């Protein structure tokens, strides 16, 4: 009885493997045929970049409108014509906290030279953020992403995350994780030199 059962199991496994192989090859060949029929997309026109490659270097940054700590409503478009460093952060994030003094320094040293830092706090209580900013003496604009929608639009997968935009609003650098002041300055200088 055990021998018959073993033979039936082996046959069943073999049958499943054969069916899987046949169906996999059929689907795989079908996909290859369809992809060979599709037109190749060449991105020679920079206006197409944001449609083809969202959140990639050279694409237009997603637009947003958020409230500042002072209650003012601002949009990313308000800063067109400036180099913008968008920094996604939260008070509970130790690397964000460590990075804040360097962001503040970069802002203070360059704010008169067509540059701004926008600190976007992700989904925290306004009073908690206000206390943190007041304690640290941070002077760059802090925006409140109360629902986390802007962070999702920017594909933020961890904090801190920074995105550097040129004067036209195109993404020129993306940095996941904490940056030091020299790294921030190098990023800014690189965007300025283009």
Q: Are 116 and 141 in contact (CB under 8 A)?
A: yes
Model confidence at 164: pLDDT above 90: yes
Give me the pLDDT at residue 41, please: 33
* pTM for this entry: 0.73
β-strands 142-145, 115-122: how paired? Answer: parallel
Buried b (16+ CB within 10 A) or exposed e, 114-137: ebbbbbbbbebeeeebeebbeeee
Nearest to 120 by CA among 170, 80, 62, 168: 62
Class of domain 46-192: alpha beta
For residue 124, give the 3-state DSSP assignment: coil
Long-range contacts of 53-57 (CB under 8 A, 24+ apart): 55/154, 55/155, 55/171, 55/174, 56/171, 57/171, 57/172, 57/173, 57/174
Please report, for the chain, the start and end positions of each structural domain, with discontinuous segments joined by +: 1-38, 46-192
What is the spatial distance between Cα 178 and Cα 5, in angstroms, rounded to a whole number?
Answer: 60
Respond yes or no on whether the N-terminal peptide bond of residue 160 is cis (omega within 30° of 0). Answer: yes
Q: Where does the pLDDT of residue 194 fall: very low under 50, low under 70, confident under 90, or very high at 90 and above?
A: confident
Q: Which of 15-29, 46-60, 69-83, 123-137 is least confident?
A: 15-29
How does the average pLDDT of the chain come out, rounded? 83
């Amino acid at each position: 009885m055990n021998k018959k059962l073993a033979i039936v199991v082996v046959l069943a496994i073999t049958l499943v493997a054969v069916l899987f192989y046949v169906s996999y090859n059929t689907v795989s060949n079908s996909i290859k045929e369809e992809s060979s029929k599709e037109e190749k997309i060449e991105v020679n026109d920079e206006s197409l970049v944001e449609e083809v490659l969202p959140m990639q270097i050279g694409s237009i940054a997603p637009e947003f409108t958020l409230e500042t700590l002072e209650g003012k409503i601002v949009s990313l478009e308000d800063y067109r014509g400036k180099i913008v460093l968008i920094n996604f952060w939260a008070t509970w994030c130790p690397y964000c906290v460590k990075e804040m003094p360097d962001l503040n320094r970069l802002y203070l040293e360059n704010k008169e030279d067509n540059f701004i830092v926008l600190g976007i706090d992700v989904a925290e209580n306004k009073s908690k953020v206000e206390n943190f900013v007041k304690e640290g003496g941070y002077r760059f604009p802090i925006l409140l992403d109360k629902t986390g929608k802007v962070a999702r639009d920017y594909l933020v997968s961890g904090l801190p995350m920074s995105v550097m935009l040129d004067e036209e609003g195109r993404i020129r650098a993306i940095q996941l994780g904490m940056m030091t002041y020299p790294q921030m300055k190098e990023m800014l200088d690189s965007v300025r030199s283009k």
